[in-house]
Amino acid sequence: MRLTHIGGPTLLVEVAGWRLLTDPTFDPPGRRYAFGWGTSSRKLIGPAVQPADLPDVDAVLLTHDHHADNLDDAGRAYLPSVPVVVTTASGAARLGGTARGVRPGESTVLEAPGRPALTVTATPARHGPPLSRPVAGDVVGFALRWDDGSLWVSGDTVLFRGLREVAERLHVDTAVLHLGGVRFPVTGPLRYSMTGRQAVRLCGVLDARTVVPVHVDGWSHFAQDRAGVERDLARAPADVRRRFRWLPVGRAVELEPA
């Protein structure tokens, strides 16, 4: 498995002859984006790789389409160049075209000659506190499985019972966790994505050999950056700490098979 962290939640995943891209965000930094209900955020860091410099991508895994830190204008313009976009059912209805909508627990299969079939299963995510779904919208994670490997992308989510239950059932080689501890001034202390402390608790029931944090910095609404996550990790059990791996931005990294 080869992973290239492009920035934010955007990751190029190369496995078994497939190239997948998560949550494409390619806008330059500087602009402020509205997220609805009085919330907004400024993009602080641009992508390490431009769309024109990417190899041909077979599918986009889009955890949700309605927040610009997961799909910005340049990312949206990129989608028609990709054969398949897998996203939420509501997002697929908005995007149309080649988008395939999946609800938590539902699967779709990517197939191509000469390559093993790749099963993509949507996993539950809750992008905020209890009862926030009508405001924060639908989000999913993705569990990928192929002949001899597996990967889980959490999507933007806080730690909640549904996520713990998925982690207890999943047997994956690598987990990609969206962190950042998102907060907005208008909603005070409420969190809209996981903190490092929550990630540590999740890893207590998750058997992934490697845990890759992403979506930790680059936006003004992230309340916990890498340094904050690392402070939480420093207090974690040793077996959890050694599983975490920070990827260099813009450079491909080979992960050894289990």
- Residue 159's Cβ-side half-sphere holds a number of Cα atoms within 13 Å equal to 19
Instruction: Note the pLDDT of residue 176.
Output: 98
Residue 190 sits in which domain range? 2-28+35-254
What is the rounded distance in angstroms from the CA atom of residue 199 to the CA atom of residue 213?
A: 9
Please give the tally of structural domains in the chain.
1
Task: Say if strands 149-153 and 140-146 run parallel, antiparallel, or are unpaired.
Answer: antiparallel
H or E segment and range at residue 172: none
pLDDT of residue 36: 83
Rg (CA), the chain: 17
pLDDT (0 to 100) of residue 257: 61
Task: Collect all residues with Cβ–Cβ distance below 8 Å to 15 and sequence separation of at least 6.
Answer: 1, 2, 118, 144, 146, 149, 151
Phi-psi sector, 52: left (phi>0), alpha (psi -120 to 50), beta: alpha
pLDDT of amino acid 258: 54
Q: What is the CATH number of the domain that holds 204?
A: 3.60.15.10
pLDDT in tens, the chain (258 residues): 999 999 999 999 999 999 999 999 999 999 999 988 788 999 999 999 999 999 999 999 999 999 999 999 999 999 999 999 999 999 999 999 999 999 999 999 999 999 999 999 999 999 999 988 888 899 999 999 998 899 999 999 999 999 999 999 999 999 999 999 999 998 889 999 999 999 999 999 999 999 999 999 999 999 999 999 999 999 999 999 999 999 999 999 999 765
State how far the Cα of 102 lies from the Cα of 86, in Å rounded to an integer. 7
Establish how many alpha carbons lie within 13 A of residue 90's alpha carbon, considering only the half-sphere containing its beta carbon: 12
